[in-house]
Amino acid sequence: MAFEITDSNFQQEVLEKEGVAVLDFWAEWCGPCRMIAPIIEKLSDEYNGKALIGKVNVDHNPDIAMKYGIRSIPTILIMKNGEVVNKHVGYTTQANLAQLIDSQLA
């Protein structure tokens, strides 16, 4: 299951940890977000122990969304060692996201 990232745990769980983190910015009312949710869950299982796969509810955690200028959802940020290395806005496939993650793990 994807890790829930909040305004209060973001610093400790993402910025202060080395490695790759994939953040799915979403909201309950967002149709494309609901479409991508099963893909995020599968990636969470697939990359368990290799990368942090997290979900950020923009309605409940506005500080993170504001910090990274998230204006459209779903937005996927791929971070490495606390820095954004890739950003994808909108729906995408599991294969495409896996390729983006693998490129950072290599």
In a domain? residue 34: yes
Cα–Cα distance for residue pair 10/14, rounded to 1 Å: 5
Report strand pairing: 51-57 vs 3-4: parallel
In a domain? residue 42: yes
Q: Which among 30, 37, 89, 98 is annotated as catalytic?
A: 30
Peptide bond into 32 cis (omega under 30): no
pLDDT at 1 over 90: no
Q: Are 82 and 23 in contact (CB under 8 A)?
A: no
Reply yes or no on whether 21 is catalytic.
Answer: no
Query: Hey, which residues does 86 pair with through a beta bridge?
Result: 78
Token digits for 97?
A: 């996201």
Please state the domain count of the chain: 1
Average pLDDT estimate for 23-34: 97
In a domain? residue 48: yes
Reply yes or no on whether 73 is catalytic.
Answer: no
In a domain? residue 50: yes
What pTM was estimated for this model as a whole?
A: 0.95
What is the structure's pLDDT at 106? 86
CATH number of the domain that 50 lies in? Answer: 3.40.30.10
In a domain? residue 31: yes
pLDDT band of residue 33 (cuts 50, 70, 90) is: very high
In a domain? residue 43: yes
Domain that holds residue 36: 3-88
In a domain? residue 24: yes
